[in-house]
Structure 1
Amino acid sequence: MKEQQNFRLTRYAPTPSGFLHLGNIYSFVLTFHLAQKFGAKILLRIDDLDTERVKKKYIQDIFDTLDFLELPYHVGPKNLKDHKQHFSQEKRLDLYKIALEHLKDSGELFACNCSRKKIRNLHPKGFYTGYCQNRNLSFESPDSAWRLRLNTSEKILLNDLFKGPVTGNIPAEIAYCVIRRKDGLPAYQLASLVDDLHFGTDLIVRGRDLWASSLAQVYLSEHLPANSFSKTVFAHHPLIKGANNQKLSKSFGATSVRFLRKSGKRKEDIFQLIGQFLGLKKPSTSLKDFEFLCNFMEKRSTDQTRR
């Protein structure tokens, strides 16, 4: 990690499909300290395109939780109304459509009408195997998704904050990922990429479980009109785990900040719980107490590289 390196913008990018949990807050805390270290502003970007799962109460929870924990950001909505009027992903549908049409015209996409049941039957782990890529289905076929043609043997170059330039292959579970859903809306990989290009994000902090998504988005960016996404730097952090070594998710209700607040936990208690999940011996009860995470991640990445 180079001390002289500076970035313009990073982001918190929660999906309001549930209440924020301790894993989300850990990622936000690390993002905050990396932004501090490298002089970046922080954007609050709420990924609200999944209309089936997104609810107003979950969006409101994002503002409530950030306010409760005094986690600052510099760009983005200040409240639910401001988000809906000015920052919702619905406001950027035209941008997504332009990117989709460009990818379609370039030959990078194919139409697929496979059901979830069929996909599960075609692969023991439920990975999509590219069944429709040579069927030449019309992109306008009803009940069809648009998928990306991905060569899993192709090496993709990615800029890692701690390791420098690294290469990786798209893993099988994300090959042929959906770019436009059957309902016509852009899927996560495209929407996230277009949003980062639109806002000018140049430092992306996310969990290691999204390593494959980072590779897919870099690949996608190379097939869109000239852009600077190849210069984007990524920091993939370890996940904090719950019972049975499972990553925390919105289904872990007991780790949601909302649940903990209703149980009487204070801001200091929330930070201390995150420290306990990280295995810290010394109590960490404030945002500042996690400043060490930047150097810790750098050292851990360096040690892994030397092995």
Structure 2
Amino acid sequence: MTTANTPVRTRFAPSPTGYLHLGGARTALFSWAYAHRFGGTFVLRIEDTDVERSTPEAVQAIIDGMQWLGLHHDEGPFYQMKRMDRYREVLAQMLAQGTAYYCYSSPEEVEAMRERQRAAGDKPRYDGTWRPEAGKTLPAIPADRKPVVRFKNPLDGDVTWDDVVKGTITISNREMDDLVIARPDGTPTYNFCVVVDDWDMKITHVIRGDDHVNNTPRQINILKALGGTLPLYGHVPMILGADGEKLSKRHGAVSVMDYPAQGYLPEAMLNYLARLGWSHGDEEVFSMEQFCGWFDLDHLSKSPAQFNQEKLAWLNNHYIKLADNARLEKLVRPLLEKEGAQLDGAPSLELTIGLLKERANTVNDIAAAVMMFYRQPAPDAALLAQHVTDAIKPVLQDFAARCATVEWKKDALAPMIKEVLAEHKLKMPQLAMPLRLLVAGQLQTPAIDVVLELFGREVVLERLKKGLA
């Protein structure tokens, strides 16, 4: 195993057969943070040997997701398909050393032997027909049949490792058969490529999902056969949906890149993912600098984490409130333009964002809220009839007359509104509601004096005149 004096080298090694999902992003975050805490190296490796399912679009989606999150790699990305010569070199070495062998059993023959084993109540496995042993005579090589290469797994003993998340795990070698490490066309298989990559890249800590636990004893045996140094393994439990089931598309957005489209900030997602299966006391909100300083493997949870959309939204609201308005403006502007917002000659977008971001859970919420400043009002007819009554119209006309001369600042508008209310013996909602409808087109807005100031005198007078005509 690695020692305390070994420079930390972690890796994130996704398969580009789909989007970067939340579980993968969390694995990447943990691996990145651990390397950064100890001044180590974080490696990005694209495991693209599944040629039929791997796509350039999926590769780009992974890279885009990593960039959005800010999980920048120190080395890579390395692509397994570009390392085929190296894999063939190691395969040839293993064949020469006798730790691997050619197997000429056809797929049909392998399936038939497994059926016989199932019928006998045994665990289905390759029976070692082509495994070379001292004094054993191998069958005649079939004509015109290309062999696979199998790893010569130990027949006896156990594979034991101290998993940094799950504790000590022991698997009997009798539970494993001789794994295919190269297909008939010579293409190496997943478990073999992973071992060679981790060996060549001097990976010291493998942090990954616990769906890989069954791969680990096989990889350990292959690595030992190569004479490599074993990394420390940590298998993190999966992320579950709110219903306790494995997170999937039916739970909503599970691709990382769905979240910026829904208006989430990367720092909120990172903070949230960090708390899914790891804790530092009662800390809930923290920066990535703090996280890297705190992160350790001892406090990774052994239990599955449960995804909570409301908690993520709460965190996103927190980071939106902290975010610079100029930064938010760059995110909101394209959303408004897509909706046909009239931005020219309208109130400053940074100012309207600053006014309305406090209650927004997402950037999209901000865009929806500020839209009232960048479109013509279209109040509901029933609401107009309810609030802009014949009784209130003279008050609105009085208010409009005062708007023509008052200093156009909220500090002057507020006392003017109070004067109107006092003179007409009204309460604030009786005036504010019709004002909001006529000027903003809706009943819900922040304080009316602030909203009026942002709309500007000319727009307010024009809309009041139109509404009272």
TM range (shorter): 0.7 to 0.9
Number of aligned pairs?
287
Stretch moving more, 122-131 or 251-260: 122-131
Unaligned runs of 5+ in 1: 78-86, 302-307
Q: Contact 1:21–1:250 at 8 Å: present in 2 too?
A: no
Q: Contact 2:99–2:151 at 8 Å: present in 1 too?
A: no
Counterpart of 2:296? 294
What is the distance in 1 between the residues matched to 2:99 and 2:140? 13
What is the distance in 2 between the residues matched to 1:187 and 1:3? 29
What is the distance in 1 between the residues matched to 2:277 and 2:168? 27
Query: Which SS does the other structure have where 2:217 is aligned?
Result: helix
Q: Contact 1:10–1:35 at 8 Å: present in 2 too?
A: yes
Counterpart of 1:206? 208
Shift of 1:33: 2.1
Matches within 5 A, 1:95-114: 95-105=86-96, 106=98, 108-111=100-103, 112-114=105-107
Query: Which SS does the other structure have where 1:192 is aligned?
Result: helix
Q: Contact 1:272–1:285 at 8 Å: present in 2 too?
A: yes
Stretch moving more, 96-105 or 289-298: 289-298
Of 138, 146, 149 in structure 1, the residue corresponding to residue 149 of structure 2 is: 146
Shift of 1:199: 1.8
- If each structure's helix is expressed as a fraction of its own residues, which one has the higher value? 2
Query: Under a length normalisation based on structure 1, what TM-score does the superposition of the two structures give?
Result: 0.75
Shift of 1:141: 5.8
After TM superposition, where is structure 1 displaced by more than 4 Å over at least 4 residues in a row? Answer: 2-6, 115-128, 134-141, 159-167, 243-253, 275-286, 288-293, 298-301
Counterpart of 2:7? 7
**CA deviation digits over 1:256-286, x for unaligned, max 9?**
1122333333314433553675497864575
What is the distance in 2 between the residues matched to 1:186 and 1:282? 45
Residue 261 and residue 133 in structure 1: after superposition, are their counterparts in 2 closer, same or farther (change >3 A)? farther
**CA deviation digits over 1:202-231, x for unaligned, max 9?**
22222222223222112112223xx4323x
What is the distance in 2 between the residues matched to 1:251 and 1:170? 39
Shift of 1:196: 1.5
Q: Contact 1:18–1:250 at 8 Å: present in 2 too?
A: no
Q: Contact 1:9–1:200 at 8 Å: present in 2 too?
A: yes
Counterpart of 2:30? 30
What is the distance in 1 between the residues matched to 2:74 and 2:142? 40
Q: Contact 2:42–2:74 at 8 Å: present in 1 too?
A: yes
Instruction: Check if 1:130 corresponds to 2:132.
Output: no
Counterpart of 1:155? 158
What is the distance in 1 between the residues matched to 2:71 and 2:143? 44
Q: Contact 1:6–1:40 at 8 Å: present in 2 too?
A: no
The percentage of aligned residue pairs carrying the same residue is: 25
Matches within 5 A, 1:20-59: 20-59=20-59
Q: Which has the larger radius of gyration?
A: 2
What is the distance in 1 between the residues matched to 2:274 and 2:34? 18
Q: State the AA in 2 paired with 1:59.
A: V
**CA deviation digits over 1:32-82, x for unaligned, max 9?**
2221333321111111111111100111112111110111221113xxxxx
Instruction: Check if 1:239 corresponds to 2:235.
Output: no
Q: Contact 2:113–2:126 at 8 Å: present in 1 too?
A: no
Counterpart of 1:90? 81
Counterpart of 1:69? 69
Counterpart of 2:179? 177
Q: Contact 1:205–1:237 at 8 Å: present in 2 too?
A: yes
Residue 162 and residue 23 in structure 1: after superposition, are their counterparts in 2 closer, same or farther (change >3 A)? closer
Residue 250 and residue 7 in structure 1: after superposition, are their counterparts in 2 closer, same or farther (change >3 A)? farther
Q: Contact 1:113–1:145 at 8 Å: present in 2 too?
A: no
Instruction: Check if 1:168 corresponds to 2:171.
Output: yes
Residue 98 and residue 248 in structure 1: after superposition, are their counterparts in 2 closer, same or farther (change >3 A)? farther
What is the distance in 1 between the residues matched to 2:73 and 2:190? 23
